[in-house]
Structure formats: structure tokens, C-alpha cells
Amino acid sequence: MATRIVTSTVVQTVTVTARVPEGTARDSTAQRAINLVQRWSRDRRQVNPQHDLTLDPRVIATGFANDGQDVPTVGQTPSLTSTNNFINYCLTLPNLPITNGKQVTGGSCNPAPIGALPSVENMPSSKFIFPRNFATIRANQSFTVEVAIKNMQTGYFVNAHNNFFAAPQQLNEHGQIIGHSHIVIENLTSIDQTTPNDPTKFIFFKGLNTPDACGKMTTIVPDGLIAGFYKISSLSTASNHQPVNAPVAQHGTLDDTVYFTVTEDGQPLNPPPAPASSTSSAVCTATPSFPSTARLPSQSATGTSLASSAVRRASSASSASASFLLSFLVMAIVAGVSILRPSVDFTL
């Protein structure tokens, strides 16, 4: 009878079934094959999952097979779908090289997963302390940029030339993203510029690679900037330089941007405009749109507002007096009573 060896592999477990003819020596070829497969199965169970080329079913996201159109919404785009976590997605883009830890300026496909996402309570946030929004600073003079940050473990960055986007986002024991931040300064044509900038052009870029001190990160812009208009932005990233990812779609911005001006003497180009008043200085003559019994909008304590209120009250009083006199005269005429006789009884 021939020897039959059946093997089946499920993830990291190998089941070996063998039927050896009676009388076959234990050191036969069949037995050696059985021993080899059993040893391979034993070794496979000890493989680091991060070195294994087999996709473990426990990490398959079954929701990826749904394109999201179960209940179609106008304008909503169907999602790409996959039953194997898109592990071979980059094969669908043969014209793009694998990113492979490099900064490929011509475009690439990165197979690394997004990784761990923080809770909504642990989403990071940053805010510039200096420069302030719409500040004016002196030209050609070094200054220190200060950025406040929270909910992030900063000071962690990998080799940007060999490990760019090469690992998933990671969290610390507190559930906060592990990574670092950057600041970038771009030139503007004016402080109220509305056209988008070219992202390939910037004046200054600096990674904030050291851990924050009590929630504050700093860096020096040596030699300062020439006179002009600028915007400065923070760029928070995970350790492998990928932008930080949040757990929900609707959230506040995780980074900050402020706009500032640089002048030769450090003085503003023009005096700051006076704050717009919510109350017009002109006397309102239009009929109010609200009932006379309605509560009037609150007025600011300015001379103009008080004067306007006084004028309106005086106007209302004059109108009421005129109406009363007119009514009295009409009633007197109808009754046939001369208003010139002192003995007239004015009882109504």
C-alpha cells in the first residue's frame, strides 16, 4: 500500500495526517517526511507575526468589503472594497513604484497600514504662541517660534530618508500619538491673499524633533525674514513623518496657522482698523420690525447709542402728545362745543 501524506495550513497551524503501511520501518522516508512537516509546523508557530507573509484572519476588517452604498446618499462615492485588507493594492497601480521608505517626488504607492488611532479625547492639538496672528516683527532679525501642543508624545522621529511612511502610526501607554511636529513659513503677496500657495515653495522649514517642555515647543529662525507678508503653520506627524490621523471625521483642526507681517522697523504698516461697531451712529427713522411691546435690543454704552436712544424716546413722546391733542379736538367739534369758552366741561 502506498504511503499518503496530507498537509493543510490554516494561518500558523499545520495539521499533519499520515497513514503508514504496516511493517514500514520507523526511519522510512514517510516517517522522515512526517517529522519534517511537524517540525516546520512547530517552527511556524514561533514566527513573529510581523515577519510572517501570511495574513492572519483575526486582523481582517470585514467592513472593507462594503462599498457604503447600502443606503445611497446623493453625491456619495462608493468606496473601494477588499476582503484581504488591501494587502496587494499597490499591484493595481503598476505605474507607481512602492514608496519603500523613500520620499519619492514623482509619486509612489505606500503599502503600510494607517495604524493605531487615538480616542477622541486624545486627539492632538497645537497653537502658536509666537508669532501671534497678525503680529508685526522686525526684518532680518532672528526670532523664536513658540508652539503649544497637547495630547501628543513629541520628540520621536525616524530616518526620513530610509523610513519615510514606513511604519503605522503608534500610540503610547496613555493612548496618545507618538511623533513630532514641524513648522513651515510661506511667503504671501498680501496679508489678505486669497489664492492658494504652491506647496513646493516655502521660506523656512524646521522639524521640532526634541520633546516638548511642559507642552511648549520652540525653534529659532536664524537671521529672521525680509520685509513682507507670511503665514506660519504647524505640521504634526507620527514617528514616520505621516500626518497624524484622528479617529473621527468631524473634529477641529489638529494644527495651527497664523498670519504675520515683517517690516524694516518692526512697526505695523498701518494702524490697526477700529473695531466695527454693532450700532450705527445714524438716527434710525425706519419703523421697527418688532412689536412696540417687544424688548429692544441691548445697546452698547456709547455716547452715540445713548444719544440715539434719547432721540427715539423724545420722538415717541412728541408723537404721543400730538395724537392726544388731535383726538381731543375731533371729539370737541363733534359734540358742538367751542373750545374757546372757559365754561366748557371737558369730561369725556
pLDDT in tens, 110-164: 999 999 999 999 999 999 999 999 999 999 999 999 999 999 999 999 999 999 9
The pLDDT score that the predictor gives to residue 288 is 40
Give 60 or 10, the one with higher predicted confidence. 60
For residue 340, with 0-12 CB atoms within 10 Å meaning exposed, 13-18 middle and 19 or more buried, which class applies? exposed
Cell of 65: 468589503
- Rounded to an integer, the average pLDDT of 79-106 is 97
In the prediction, which pLDDT does 47 show? 73
Whether the predicted pLDDT of 344 surpasses 60? no
| Average pLDDT of the residues in 169-191 | 98
pLDDT for the residue 18: 46
Confidence of residue 317 (pLDDT cuts 50, 70, 90): very low
- Assign residue 277 a region (left: φ > 0; alpha: ψ between -120 and 50; beta: otherwise): beta
Residue-level pLDDT at 206: 98
Q: Looking at the domain 120-263, which fold is it?
A: Immunoglobulin-like (2.60.40)
Percent of the chain residues past pLDDT 70, beyond the cut:
67
Examine the pLDDT at 1 and tell me if it is beyond 70: no
| pLDDT at 3 exceeding the cut of 50 | no
Q: What is the SS3 assignment for 57?
A: helix
Of 34-48, 87-101, 333-347, the least confident: 333-347
- Tell me which residue has cell 506647496: 199
- φ, ψ (nearest 5 deg) of residue 138: -80, 140
Half-sphere exposure of 344 (CA within 13 A, CB side): 13
pLDDT at residue 309 above 60?
no
pLDDT at position 335:
45
Q: Identify the band that residue 42 occupies on the pLDDT scale cut at 50, 70 and 90.
A: low
Residue type, 219: T
Q: CA-to-CA distance for 95 and 93, rounded, in angstroms?
A: 5
Please say if the pLDDT value at position 286 is more than 80.
no
Among 172-186, 231-245, 308-322, the range scoring the smallest mean pLDDT is: 308-322
Q: Where on the phi/psi map is residue 335: left (φ > 0), alpha (ψ -120 to 50), or beta?
A: alpha
Domain residues of the chain, as ranges? 4-45, 120-263, 304-348
Q: What is the mean pLDDT of the chain?
A: 79
Of 204, 199, 256, 253, which Cα lies nearest the Cα of 230? 204
pLDDT at 273: 56
Kindly state the percentage of the chain with pLDDT values over 90.
61
The overall pTM is greater than 0.75? no
Determine the Cα–Cα distance for residues 136 and 229; give it in Å rounded to an integer.
Answer: 9
What backbone torsions phi and psi does residue 89 show, to the nearest 5 degrees?
-55, -40
Please tell me the predicted confidence (pLDDT) of residue 284. 44
- Distant-in-sequence, close-in-space partners of 259: CB < 8 Å, separation ≥ 6: 133, 134, 188, 191, 229, 230, 231
Average pLDDT over residues 31-50: 70
Nearest to 110 by CA among 241, 289, 288: 241
Least confident of 44-48, 142-146, 154-158, 206-210: 44-48
* DSSP code, position 98: B
User: Does position 219 have pLDDT exceeding 50, yes or no?
Assistant: yes
CA distance 21 to 34: 14
Q: What per-residue confidence (pLDDT) applies to 14?
A: 41
Question: What pLDDT does residue 201 have?
Answer: 97
Most confident of 20-34, 183-197, 299-313: 183-197
Instruction: Give residue 16's pLDDT band: very low, low, confident or very high (50, 70, 90).
Output: very low
